[in-house]
Amino acid sequence: MIGNLRSVIKPVIHFESFSKKQMQLLTWWCPESPYHDYAGIIADGSIRAGKTVAMAVSFIIWAMDTYDGQNFAMCGKTVGSFRRNVWKWLKPVLLVRGYQLEESRTENLIVIAKDERINYFYVFGGRDESSQDLIQGITLAGLYCDEVALMPESFVNQATGRCSVEGAKMWFNCNPDSPMHWFLLRWIEKRDEKRLLHLHFLMDDNPSLSEAVRERYRTTYSGVFYSRFILGEWVMAQGAIYRDAWDDDELLFDDEKLEYLLRNLHIMKRSITIDYGTVNPMVYLDVLDDGTDLWFIREYYWDSRAEQREKDNSQYADDLLEFVRGVELWPSNVVIDPSAASFKIELRNRGLHAKETVETINADNDVIEGIRKVNTLMTRRKIHFYKGLTHTIKELKAYVWDDKALQNSGKEKPIKVADHCPDAVRYYVSTIIRPRRIANV
């Protein structure tokens, strides 16, 4: 069996050998393994540790060797992320091995057949609390959850509760989160009573990575994200969010650089990113993208409390149009706070999209993922702020984790005070900058 597993993977992903932990992932369910009667397996630890590769291949081989005519669930945070992060490379591995595949994207179903056996693999996204409704009612012989720590507990509980076929097994992988995370507390720490094998991975457990690649990933993260994604630790996010990534000399630029950017607008893409406020401050940030680095060059900041005067949507729209015309290059898009429904209506009524050919885009508001992406760009010195952005710089430096929220709910989030400019920065990075570009900075 071990020899067969080697032959499945090596031709496609170029493994010369497997680490000890990867071999455990590949073979733990085999009859000769001391863990073959366990209910499932958990693999956690650092990024790029080779856990997803070994786990997904092993899951399919186990399912096809064990069952015929059964249903299985393969889950990611979203269906799209599962297809991108797992299925994209898993599919050619299975084809090389001789499996027959038939996909139905409308049903999110993958039918796999080999040696007169056929099984049905349904793909689910566990994005939010409502996702549990999608998986109700199905009977499963096995469950695979990629990046399970990003899923809500209700979805995972619903999915595991569906595994009622005799001999069903559960497979989980993830990167660490906070020490109060539900998956750590109720699954990893209770692995013995649940009869789950737990394997903790580091990048050294992936022999396909060169030392140069490992070093590149070590320099990609800082602070809590370094502890989690590189050291593989379940640690608490505390203090200033960007403290370890921030450096005035590296991230701030002066008038001379600003003049250079404005002289070279022909090689730039321009966006406006907005954090909407009525009682709270309204923020517009002007950002240029040269294809490699991001340059935040201007800010609009209206604090109605400090100014002792509120503005309505019409006045804010006037201010936005004036702000947009402050640079000769028209922005290709305006990224808007998803809560700003009334302001978006005002902009549509003004004909901003049609008249000025500026696309308005609802911002991606995944807070923690957005903070991680901004942190990565800061750490790799790919994001910069003009020294005159007084409010933006002040708020980014003062942006802190809410310790009480973590203690009360087990969920991490920033303190909702003076967070308007950091939110606008995060909206732009999360919405416009492609995940592959951030991963490759």
Q: Can you tell me which residue has the tokens 């009667």?
A: 37
Choice among 153-162, 202-211, 349-358 with the minimum mean pLDDT: 349-358
The confidence score (pLDDT) of residue 14 equals 45
The confidence score (pLDDT) of residue 357 equals 62
Neighbour tally for 383: CB within 10 Å: 25
How many whole angstroms separate alpha carbon 435 and alpha carbon 78?
14
- CATH code: domain 248-439 is 3.30.420.280
Residue 411: which pLDDT band, with cuts at 50, 70 and 90?
A: confident
**Mean pLDDT value across residues 154-177:** 96
- CATH code: domain 2-224 is 3.40.50.300
- DSSP code string of 143-206: EEEETGGGS-HHHHHHHHHT--STT-EEEEEE----TT-HHIIIIITTHHHHTEEEEEE-GGG-
CA atoms within 13 A on the CB side of 94: 24
Within the chain, which residue ranges are assigned CATH 3.30.420.280? 248-439
Within the chain, which residue ranges are assigned CATH 3.40.50.300? 2-224
The confidence score (pLDDT) of residue 100 equals 97
Neighbour tally for 291: CB within 10 Å: 8
pLDDT tens by residue, 365-385: 999 999 999 999 999 999 999
The residues facing 110 across adjacent strands are 103, 121
Amino acid residing at 169: K
Residues with Cβ within 8 Å of 159's Cβ and at least 6 positions away in sequence, in order, are 73, 75, 124, 126, 132, 135, 140, 143, 145
Q: What are phi and psi of 360, to 5 degrees?
A: -95, 130
Q: How far is CA 79 from the centre of its chain?
A: 13
The confidence score (pLDDT) of residue 356 equals 55
Helices 2-13 and 20-27: crossing angle in degrees, nearest 10, is 120
